[in-house]
Amino acid sequence: MGVIVTKFGGSSLADAGQFQKVKNILLADERRRFVVPSAPGKREEDDEKVTDMLYACHDRAALGENVEAVFDRLRGRFLGISQALGLSLDMNAELDKVFFALQNGQTRDFAASRGEFLSGMMLANYLGWEFIDAAEVICFDNQGVFDQERTQELLSRRLAGVERAVIPGFYGSLPNGKVKTFSRGGSDISGAIVARAAGAELYENWTDVPGFLMADPRIVKRPKEISVITYRELRELAYMGATVLHDEAIFPVRAAGIPINIRNTNDPSAPGTMILRADESHVRGAITAIAGRKGFTAIAIEKNMMNAELGFGRRVLGALEECGVSFEHLPTGIDTMTVLCADANLSGKIEQVIEKIRRSCKPDHIEVISGLSLIATVGRGMVRYPGTASRLFAALADAGINIRMIDQGSSEINIITAVESADFERAVNAIYAAFTK
C-alpha cells in the first residue's frame, strides 16, 4: 500500500471544528499515514494567529515586560480546542512548560515553534497516532542551513518503524539541540521533507482555497482554477507572489518525483490542483497563470561600447554585492544594462550603490526608476503558441499601460513585464482577459 503525506495549514486547524474536519479527511483514506500540522491560524479576519502571539510573548519577555496577558489569550486558544475535542492530554501542563521557557530566555525560534509543537500534540492525541517531535528528525547545520542528507537518514529510519504519526511543521534543530525554524510558512517545506523521507506516492497540502487560481482573486474577479501545473511553473508563480504554497516546498518532492495535490479542507471532495513534472499531455493553452509583486526599483545604466568592455557586468554586480544588495532581473542591450532590485533590499542603500557603480564602471548615464511592479505571465505551453507575446503586449497597450521592462527567461515558460505600480491591478486584469476570452 502506498503512502500519502498530508500537511494542514493554520486555517485548517484554527478551532475544534476544523480539527474534526482534518480527522475525517485523514481517516477517509488509509494511505494517509503521516500528517504535518501548522499552528492554529485565524478563525476570522480580525483574529490573532498563534504564531504571532508566541512571537509577541518572546519579544516582551526579552524586554523584561509582563507576558501574561498575551499568553493567557494563547492558553485560551489551546484549552478551548482541547476541551471541545475531549482530549486526554494535559494541555495546561504543556502550556506551563512553554510559559516557563519563554520567561527563562528561550530563543525566538523556540517560541515560534511551539504553535506547531502543541498543535501536533493535540492532533496526535485526538487521532491516537504517534507524536514525533520535529526537533528529533529535521536537522540544520551549524550555519542554520537545512541539512538534507542527515534529515533524510534520520527521518526515513524513524518513519519506517511507525504505522501512523504526526510530525509538527515549521521547525527542526541545530547540532547543539536548539530549535531552528524555517522561514514563515515553512510547514509546507516540512511536509515536503516528510513526503520524501516516507517515499510517499503523493504529498497533499490542505489549505482554505480550492487550489491554484489563474490570478490573484483580490485583483481579478473569480479567476479560473488550475487543475494541473508543473513544478517549474509553480516555482515561477510562488516567487512572484502566488502564496498558496511556500516556494521552497517543491524541492524535496521534486527531487523524488512526488506529485503535490493542493486541496481544500472545507471542500474535501474537490480535486484541487495537481503539481507534476513537465508533461506535454497536460498543456491546454498558451499560459497557465499570472502573478506579480509591487515594490521594485530599476537602475538603468548607459555607456557607449559597453558590450566591448571586458568585465563591465561583473563590476556592476560587484557594486551591488559590496552593498549587500541582491538583484531580481538583469535585462541588457548593446550599450545599456538595467538592474532590477526589490525595494526592501535597496532600502537606505541606493545612493551607496549608485556611487560604487559610478566609480567602478564610469557610465555615461545612470537613471533610477522607482515605483515599479513586476508581472509574470507563466505557461509551459507558451513556446509552442505563436503570438503569445504579441497578445500580452497588445492587451497592455489597449489598456493604456506603459511597459517599463520586458524579460523572457531562457526556459521560455514565463514573460516578465515591469509596469508602474499605479497600473499594476489594471495590467493583471488586462493580461488575464486577453488569455481567457
DSSP code for 300: E
Region 294-298 average pLDDT:
95
Joined together, the cell numbers standing for residue 176 give 547543539
pLDDT, the chain, mean: 91
Residue 279 above 70 pLDDT?
no
Give whole-number Cα distances, 115 to 1, 53, 75, 119, 121, in Å.
Answer: 32, 9, 11, 6, 10
CB 247 within 8 A of CB 238: yes
**pLDDT exceeds 90 at position 5:** yes
- Percent of residues, the chain, with pLDDT higher than 70: 94
Q: Residue 285 has what pLDDT?
A: 58
Q: Tell me the pTM.
A: 0.82
Whether the Cβ atoms of residue 138 and residue 193 lie closer than 8 Å to each other: yes
Widest Cα–Cα separation across the chain: 75
What are the contacts of 53-62 at 24+ separation with CB within 8 A?
53/77, 54/111, 54/112, 54/114, 54/115, 55/108, 55/111, 55/112, 57/102, 57/111, 58/102, 58/106, 58/107, 58/108, 58/111, 58/112, 59/108, 61/102, 61/103, 61/105, 62/108
Question: Could you give the CA distance from residue 365 to residue 343 in angstroms, rounded to a whole number?
Answer: 21
Q: Alpha-carbon Rg of the chain, whole angstroms?
A: 24
Q: Say how far apart CA 213 and CA 324 lie, in whole Å.
A: 35
379-399 pLDDT tens trace: 877 767 778 888 999 999 999
CA dist., res. 7 & res. 24, Å (int): 14
Contact 272, 210 (CB under 8 A): yes
Residue 266 in contact with residue 347, Cβ under 8 Å?
A: no
> Mean per-residue pLDDT for 288-301?
93
Confidence at 410, pLDDT banded by 50, 70, 90: low
Cell (9 digits) for 133? 517531535
Phi first, then psi: give them for residue 303, nearest 5 degrees.
Answer: -160, 130
Alpha helix segments (H runs only) across 161-220: 187-198
**With contact defined as beta carbons under 8 Å apart, do 342 and 421 qualify?**
no
Question: What domains can you pick out in the chain, each with its CATH number?
Answer: 4-278 (3.40.1160.10), 289-435 (3.30.2130.10)
What the block records as the C-alpha cell of 338 is: 538595467
Q: What pLDDT is stored for residue 355 in this prediction? A: 95
Strands 289-302 and 202-207: unpaired
Length of the chain: 437
How do residues 225-245 score in pLDDT, each as one tens digit?
888 888 888 777 877 766 667
